[in-house]
Amino acid sequence: MRKLFIVLGIIASILAIVLSVLPVSNLAYFPAIAALVFGFIAFYLSNKNKLSIKTIQLVFLLSVIALSITIYKSAFLTTEVGNTDELEIRQQESVEDAKQELENLDLDFDDLDVDINEEDLELGDLDEIEME
Amino acid sequence: MLIASLYIKLTYMLKYFFLLSLFVSTFGFSQNSAFKAGEKLTFTASYNMSGVLTELAQVNMETSEIKTSKATLLRLKTTATTYSKWDNFFKIRDLYESYVSPTTVRPYLYKRDIYEGGYTKFVQYKYSHSKGTVASLIRKKKKGGGTYDQNNTLKISSNTKDIVSTIYYLRTLDLNSFSPGKTITMTVLFDNKPTEIVVKYVNKETVNTKIGSKACHKLAISIKNSNILKGTNDNLLWLTADENKIPVYAKFKVAVGNGELKIKSATGLKN
């Protein structure tokens, strides 16, 4: 029983460490807390049977490290958007390209004829369409 | 193993995250009193597992005016950008655009230019509503370098739209007249396939958002013949119950946990 909890504790704490260094660091809370719980159970069982607690200390150490990294990351690192220069360029090119495409397109603005109103006429050059 | 599967799920989720706000029309003409050129909405896309949020990407939705020699159109632009911490793992720089009629939100040109973790794809639809067709162009990367084009002509119904115009079209509907349980089916053209999307009006609810506490229309979304969205009433969208009908919150059920889209800021509103 004690061995089982030690093994579970080690697995959970290693998982917590791995998750904590990934961008999904927030998810490390789950295995870290699980590792602590397993660790405490194993610690209790070891004490009862007067057995070594060295590996359990490792479990605690790893989970505490994982929790520290996670808490540090969520408290001090702000999430911000990365470099979007390339996307901005693509957007600009896309508009220019779209303008060309739209000029060539047959814009059948039938729908606009149905519910045309003053506001829309002010918006753009819809007079021509209404003439059509 | 667990990490690998979690990673796969997350990357899969990231990929589909953006597509998860779909919905469109079978309705006839409606007046657009919900948005105008110059509107900018910013969202945070995150993954929620038992209340622990992991922020994935920022989604921007912007409108602007585009003038051609014949008419003035509204450009609906949506971009998805992963946060910098994700860029080394799975970088997303997606651009979706739809050029629509400012009043009826009928699309005339749709462009999708995506970059998702090294994968790129360009899709363009040119609508011809008088003929009931769409000229589709798909551009993909060749393995050895360079690109290749696939041209197709697709038949569409008069109410077929693309994803972007669908989201905006939904905002032009008179949701106040909807009673709980009312459903509408819409057709969205995605990856050259017309996809039927069912939107169900659930009820009115007040939601706390970054732009204040808002009374909202709650809508449930499902896709016919698809398992991208899990559950029946678990994929929800909240639109403010005012004239602007801003999408303030969306929730999607994925394999493990939920995907969420929360509004961060809204500027240039019409009303």
Q: Which residue positions in chain A have pLDDT lower than 50?
A: 112-132
pLDDT at B68: 85
Q: How far apart are the C-alpha atoms of B149 and B136, rounded to whole Å?
A: 10
pLDDT at B248: 95
Nearest chain B Cα distance for residue A1, angstroms: 24
CB pairs under 8 A between A and B: 144
Cβ pair B201, B179 in contact under 8 A: yes
pLDDT at B15: 54
Q: Which residues have a Cβ under 8 Å from the Cβ of B11 and sit 6 or more positions away?
A: B89, B90, B117
pLDDT at B71: 85
- Sign of the four-CA dihedral B265, B266, B268, B271: negative
Cβ pair B26, B254 in contact under 8 A: no
pLDDT at B11: 52
Tell me how far apart the terminal alpha carbons of chain B are, to the nearest angstrom. Answer: 51
Task: Kindly write down the DSSP assignment for every residue of A7-50, as one continuous string.
Answer: HHHHHHHHHHHHHHHSTTGGGGHHHHHHHHHHHHHHHHHHHHHT
- Angle between helix axes A29-49 and A2-21 (nearest 10 degrees) is 150
Q: Can you give the residue range of the structural domain that contains B200?
A: 2-267
Question: What stretch of H or E contains B257?
Answer: none
> What are the 10-residue block averages of pLDDT along chain B, 271 residues in total?
50 49 38 87 91 90 89 92 90 93 90 91 91 90 85 89 91 91 91 90 93 93 77 85 93 85 92 82
pLDDT at B257: 81
Question: What stretch of H or E contains B158?
Answer: none
Q: Which of residues 124-153 of B touch A (CB under 8 A)?
A: 124, 126-130
Q: B10: which chain A residues are within 8 Å (Cβ-Cβ)?
A: 24
pLDDT at B67: 87
pLDDT at B218: 94
Nearest chain A Cα distance for residue B86, angstroms: 6
Would you report the helix, strand and coil content of chain A in percent, each value rounded to 5?
A: 80, 0, 20
Q: Which of residues 45-104 of B touch A (CB under 8 A)?
A: 47, 49-50, 52-55, 58, 65-73, 75, 77, 79, 81-87, 89, 91, 93, 95, 97, 99, 101-104
A21 touches chain B (CB under 8 A): no
Q: Is the ipTM of this complex over 0.90?
A: no
pLDDT at A14: 96
What is the domain count for chain B?
Answer: 1
B14 touches chain A (CB under 8 A): no
Please state, in angstroms and as integers, the Cα–Cα distance from residue B254 to each residue in A64, A98, B232, following that order: 31, 35, 12
Residue of B nearest to A85 (CA): B93
Rounded to 5 degrees, what are φ and ψ at B125?
-115, 125
Kindly state the tokens that stand for B188.
């969205």
pLDDT at A72: 94
Task: Kindly write down the DSSP assignment for every residue of B187-211, as one continuous string.
Answer: EEEETTEEEEEEEEEEEEEEEEETT
Cβ pair B6, B77 in contact under 8 A: no
Cβ pair A95, A103 in contact under 8 A: no
Cα B22 → chain centroid: 5
Q: B115: which chain A residues are within 8 Å (Cβ-Cβ)?
A: 87
Q: Which of residues 60-119 of A touch B (CB under 8 A)?
A: 77, 79-84, 86-87, 90-91, 94-95, 97-99, 101-103, 105-112, 114-117
